[in-house]
Structure 1
Amino acid sequence: MIEIKNIAKTFGDRQVLAGISGTFRPGETSLIIGGSGTGKSVLLKCMIGLVKPDQGEVLYNGRNFLTGDEEVQKEIRREMGVLFQGSALFDSKTVLENVQFPLDMLTETPSAEKEERAMFCLQRVGLEAAAERMPSELSGGMKKRVGIARAIVMNPKYLFCDEPNSGLDPLTSIKIDQLIKEITDEFNITTVVITHDMNSMLEIGEKIMFLYKGLKMWEGDNSTITRSTVPELNEFIYANKLLRDIK
């Protein structure tokens, strides 16, 4: 379980996050939504240690990630898997080498076992046949799946996905959502997804946090989001519905 408490962050004279709190549970696909510039990506970066908040706490099963000693922070980082928005694959490495990279960097596992684990993860995302291909040979959806395979190769307790559907067509987006949900359920992972995709909200949003101008304006799930009485959220949903209908 992840708990965030009163997270605040300011860049210069601009407050990006203003006292955000919430809980994210194992086996649950949690979404953080909001328009551009609302603070959702900054909040994710605070949660995974890429940005230090000005105040607040980030707790992983009771362990304070922000104030814990170096060993505690290393332990928590080993339990994280991250799917970056652009997949962040190494162009000079094969698909298999990309997936295996965290094992190479963070473990002393024998080479054969690392390769076996990486291949298992590729099989789980349906890309075992692409193991020896280069990232330049892959479609956008395939790159996302490789990114997911790499994110789970360390058998994480916590999975973070930053705009996993960015740049994908609607059908591929649905497949990526389904894969994230299946992996969350199968391995009982605490999954946090940053998104503005309407289909994601309605299909996999077991918990949804809506940010607006650095504030948490609403929290609920995909069965209640369309019945919101928050004007800012309703406007956000309507705009996304229009965009989806146009596509």
Structure 2
Amino acid sequence: MIEINNIAKSFGDKDVLMGISCKLRQGETNLIIGGSGTGKSVLLKCIIGLVRPDAGEVLYNGRSFYGSDKEAQQAIRREMGVLFQGGALFDSQTVHQNVQFPLDMLTSQSAEEKRERVEFCLQRVGLEGTGKLMPSEISGGMKKRVAIARAIVMNPKYLFCDEPNSGLDPLTGVKIDELIREITDEYQITTLVITHDMNSVMEIGDNVIFLQKGKKLWEGDKDSIMHSDVTELNEFVFSNKLLRDMRE
């Protein structure tokens, strides 16, 4: 479990996050939603240590990230898997090399151990036999799957996904959502997904946190979101015509 306690962050005179608190539970897909500029990506960066908050704390299974020394922070980071927006694959490396990259950087495994782990992860995301291909030779959806394989290659306890469906067609987006849900259930990972896609919310939203102008205005599951009395959340949710029709 990850506990986020009163996280605040400003850039200059602009308050981006104002006292955000929530719990991200193990074995659940936790989603942070909201429109552009609401602080979603900044909150993610504060959680994983890319941006230091001005106030507040992040606890990983009771371990304070910002209250720890550099060595302890590195130990927590080794338990993270991150799927960056767009996938962030290395264009000059093969699919296999992309997935193996964290193993090369962070472990002393033998070449055979690395090969077996990479092949397992590619098989797990449905990409067996693609290891020799270059990123330029595969589709956008396949690139996201490669990025997921890389994110889980270290057997993470925590999985972070930043807009995993960005740039994908709706059908491929659903498949990526299903894969994230399957991996979360199978390995009992604490998963956090940053998204503005209401289809993802309705598919995999075990726990949903809504941000508006740097504040948390609502938290609940995908079923209760349809019956919220928070005006800003309703405007966000029902800007999607299909969901408006469902409600009516």
Superposed CA deviations along residues 145-180 of structure 1, whole A, max 9, x for unmatched, are 000000000000000000000000000000000000
**Alignment match, 2:179:** 179
CA distance in 1, matches of 2:51, 2:244: 32
AA in 2 matched with 1:167: G
Superposition pairs of residues 1-247 of structure 1, within 5 angstroms: 1-241=1-241
* Aligned length in residues: 245
AA in 1 matched with 2:55: Q
Superposed CA deviations along residues 58-98 of structure 1, whole A, max 9, x for unmatched, are 00011111120112101100000000001000011000000
CA distance in 2, matches of 1:239, 1:158: 31
TM-score by length of 2: 0.97
Aligned residues of 1:31 and 1:194 also touching (Cα < 8 A): yes
Aligned residues of 1:210 and 1:218 also touching (Cα < 8 A): yes
Report the CA distance between 1:212 and its aligned residue: 0.1
Aligned residues of 2:102 and 2:150 also touching (Cα < 8 A): yes
Provide structure 2 residue ranges, at least 5 long, that are not aligned to the other structure: none
Superposed CA RMSD in Å reads: 1.3
Give SS of 1:128's match.
coil
Aligned residues of 2:238 and 2:244 also touching (Cα < 8 A): no
Aligned residues of 2:209 and 2:216 also touching (Cα < 8 A): yes
CA distance in 2, matches of 1:129, 1:111: 18
Q: Where has structure 1 moved over 4 Å in runs of 4 or more?
A: 242-245
Give SS of 1:133's match.
coil
Q: Percent identity?
A: 73
Report the CA distance between 1:240 and its aligned residue: 3.2
Report the CA distance between 1:242 and its aligned residue: 6.1
TM-score by length of 1: 0.97
Report the CA distance between 1:243 and its aligned residue: 9.7
